[in-house]
Structures are given as structure tokens and as C-alpha cells.
Structure 1
């Protein structure tokens, strides 16, 4: 990372949620923070083999889109600096406590994935898990990832995606679309995120499809992969 990028990342940016473009809902914001604190270990256990693969070798400074309450901190070596792009301030206290527990230096920024505020070509790695489903503009968020990655840098992702047409999972995603999105702050279980990543202009994209088994049927179809700038 360049000296300029390090300087720009050195301070915590916490601002008015209205200024970020993120509509912070008092009830849902708190609910999601509590939900992922409680259910995170259970959900993470199903995704762990893929996270271990795609997050392998991370070190130094890592940017995470939507780190939430810190589900991915165990995959980072102690001493890593995590630049957390997290607009839901109800996640912040838990995230800070978890970062301290895992020995991660946290640079927390209350911003959107579409507008990180980081310099062009300033970082080597960006990660996300269970985030691209809920960003307001997936294409803009991926363009932002490409903008801030150095040539050869990597975007590593573990996300849930739309199920194949005609399957029971796809039917449940369609049926529960609106209540699901309302509960989980805009989360869509019907996004073709593989297509979005492949269309975003990365030099190379590797994707694995897999399925997890949870009571949350609309959530069970997943991808994991690495895109290189």
C-alpha cells in the first residue's frame, strides 16, 4: 500500500447516516446487529471451508465491504489492519470489540460500498461476505472495488445468490422476496451475483457454486470466488 493510501486510511470516518445515503432504521438496524451476532457462528460454520480457501493469504491492510459484527475477523492474521466499510452503526460496537479480541487494527468507516472514499488503486485486497445481496447498486459497488484495487489486487467474495429457475429454493426466494428484503435491510435473495462480478471488468474471475443447508431456504444457494484486477 502506498504511503498516501496509508495516510488516507489512518482515521476513523463516522458521520451522519443521512450523509452516507444509507437509511438507518432504528429497529431493523438493531435487529440485524443482534441477529448476526447470535446466528453468525452458525452461518459461518456452513461457509467456513470456502472462506478458508478464498480468504487464504490475506495480510497487511484489507478492505471489507460490510464487515457487520466481525464474522470474517477469524480469517485475518493478527496484526492485520481492516478498513471496514460499514454504514450500519448498530454493528460498530460489536465489530470493534471483536477486532480487539482477534488482534485486528480496525479503521471503521461509516460509508457505502459504492462510495468508499479510498484513493484509486490504493489497496491489494477487498473482501465481502453476505453483503452484495444488500448493496443499493451492485454494479456501482463492483466498479468501486475495481477503482480502489491495484493492478493484480484481488476481490474475494462469499455470497448467497439466486437459485436455479424451477427449483423449490427459487420459488421460496420469489415468494419471500419482500418480507426478506424488509427484514434484512434491502437484502435480495434473487441476485445473479456471479453474472455481476463477471461483467464488472475484472481481468480474471474464479467462481465456485455450492449449497449450504439451513432453515433459511432462500439463503442456501451460494458462490465463493476470487476476482483479480
Structure 2
């Protein structure tokens, strides 16, 4: 499937209550285990990187100096302002821009890597968001780094995830869905998964989001491949 630029206009994103809770409580009190996961996610990146759904900029401090530039795309206004403040002290140049995952404000083939960190749970359409990441990555060596909470393999936990998604979770937590099979979505979007591993969630992580997946994927060598 050839990559295509989306034709639908992006929808505005605003989650003012959740954004403040995330930035002031969750991000500022993040456990050391989560910071370790962020470091591992970004290790070895080079060149120009797009971070999709950068939130309040929690990843910025952990980018290696081999990165020339980070273009951080964040649709939520409050979080975007927080990210711009975090960018000022980042060890690499970070440009924070307004945009959404399903219509990235970047040219085709303009990035060496894309980072998706705790964002594919909340995008309206995972397939479209991943297609956009494919579009902006350079061939043949463009790489996707991902760290996401995902659908559990254990039936009991998976049932819990589906129940909370149906009842209240997306409304309470900024559009987040706990029962998405994100690893399968990445493969279905045409990426070749090089590495993926289940990682231990930080202590006190609620069960619906305690199943977490990290890994790397790359573009197929055949541009027409799905």
C-alpha cells in the first residue's frame, strides 16, 4: 500500500482537565522505572526525529546528543505549552508544533525516526496515525520506536480493559483506550517489527494500563508493501 497524505482536515484536540492532571501530577511524579523506559526507547537515535503526541515533553531530557533535531507534535494546547517550556532545557534542539497524529505537519520522507510513546492508545485511528508516520520517514532506513500500553494476553485482564474502555476510561483519560492491540496495528500498517518486548510497568500502575510493549520497527524495503 502506497503512503498517502490525508485529505481530511484534522480535528481539534482539547482535554483541559486531563492535560493538567497529566502534566502536574503524573509527569512530575513519574517513577524511576518509567524514566528508564524512556531512556531505553530513545537510545541510539540519530538525525531528525518526529515525536508524535509529545505531551508535556517528558521524553525531551532523554534524547541522545546524536539527534540533530526533534520535531515534537502535540495537539493539546495546555500540554503543548508545557512541552515548549521543557524544550528549553533539552540536550538537543526541540521544536514543538501544533498538529495531530493522523495529519502530521511534515513533508514526505523528512525524518530519520518517529517516536510513539504512550500516544497510540489515544489517537482516533491507529491505522491512519501509523500511515502518517510511514509517510514522513525516510527510506530505506526510517525507524519507528514505540512504547505503549496494550491489550493483555491474559483473558481476565483483557476483559477488564474492554469493560473500562466501554464504561469510562477514554472519557476520563483524554481519549486513552486500554484494550488496543498496538503491536498488531504496527505490523498491519506495513512496518517490519525488528524488536518488541513486554516490559514491566512501574509500581502502582493500574491494571488496565499495566501491560506495556516496547520495540523498534522499520520501513519495508519495498515501498508498495503493506
TM-score by length of 1: 0.82
1:60 corresponding residue in structure 2: 47
Q: How far apart, CA to CA, are the structure 2 residues paired with 1:119 and 1:44?
A: 36
Aligned Cα root-mean-square deviation (Å) = 2.1
3-state DSSP class of the match of 2:112?
Answer: strand
2:84 aligned with 1:76, yes or no? Answer: no
Aligned to 2:213: 223
Residues 203 and 220 of structure 1: is their aligned pair in 2 closer, same or farther, counting only changes over 3 Å?
closer
User: What is the 5 A alignment of 1:104-143?
Assistant: 104-143=92-131
Conserved 8 A contact 1:44-1:71: no
Cα deviation code 1:82-107 (max 9, x no counterpart)? 21111101112211111112244332
Query: Which ranges in structure 2 are unaligned for 5 or more consecutive residues?
Result: 1-8, 220-226
Alignment check: 8 A CA contact 2:23 2:79 kept: no
Alignment of 1:142-157 (within 5 A): 142-151=130-139, 152-157=141-146
Q: Distance in 2 between matches of 1:37 and 1:130?
A: 17
The one-character-per-residue Cα deviations of 1:116-168 (angstroms, maximum 9, x if unpaired) are: 0211111101101110000011001111111111121111010000112422x
Residues 175-184 or 120-129, more deviating: 175-184
- Consecutive unaligned residues in structure 1, runs of 5 or more: 1-18
Which residue does 1:39 correspond to in 2? 26
CA contact (8 A) 1:68 1:92 kept: yes
Distance 2:53 2:175 in 1: 13
**Pair 1:117–1:96, CA change in 2 (3 A):** closer
Q: Secondary structure at the match of 1:186?
A: coil
Aligned equivalents of 1:189 and 1:159: distance in 2?
Answer: 10
Describe the shift of the 1:150–1:181 C-alpha distance in structure 2 as closer, same or farther (beyond 3 A): same
Deviation of 1:41 (Å) = 4.9
Count matched residues.
207
The secondary structure found in structure 1 opposite 2:101 is coil
State the Cα distance separating 1:109 from its structure 2 match: 2.0
Deviations 1:162-209 (A, max 9, x none): 112422x32331232131100122110000001001111124432111
8 Å Cα contact 2:106/2:136 also seen in 1: yes
* Residue 12 of structure 2: aligned partner: 22
| Distance in 2 separating the partners of 1:154 and 1:58 | 9
2:190 to 201, 221, 229: 201
